[in-house]
Amino acid sequence: MSDCLFCKIIKGDIPAKKIYEDDDVFAFHDIGAQAPHHFLVIPKKHIATLNDADNATLVGKLTLTASKIAKDLGFAEDGYRVVMNCNEQGGQTVYHIHLHCLGGRQLNWPPG
């Protein structure tokens, strides 16, 4: 999708601090970090919301990629949170599915 922020990041039109990339997913640091470690994992294929997802393997790969990165960055053992927002009331602001991974501090529940 030509006007999608995350599609532009994937294409390199908008700079991002990349952490990981393969044929299916792209991970980068969140510019509005809410924890010492806060990154996003997104599919390279544009999927607007979780309601539009139809590939369980791809959605699962987002989670497994977040886990791998948390281990590689050294905060997995202390704990971290993964979350995906869906639509306006769920807190989604960019309509390209993305998984947030946050760690490096005590995370409280409920989040808000």
For the question of residue 96 being annotated catalytic, the response is no
SS3 state of residue 73: helix
Q: Which residue has tokens 């808000």? A: 112
Checking DSSP bridges between strand 80-83 and strand 99-103, what pairing results, if any? Answer: antiparallel
CA 10 to CA 8: how far, in whole Å? 5
How far apart (Å, rounded) are the C-alpha atoms in residues 96 and 102? 19
Which of 38, 96, 98, 100 is an active site residue? Answer: 98
CB 43 within 8 A of CB 51: no
Beta-carbon contacts of residue 105 (< 8 Å; ≥ 6 apart): 35, 36
Active-site residue set? 98
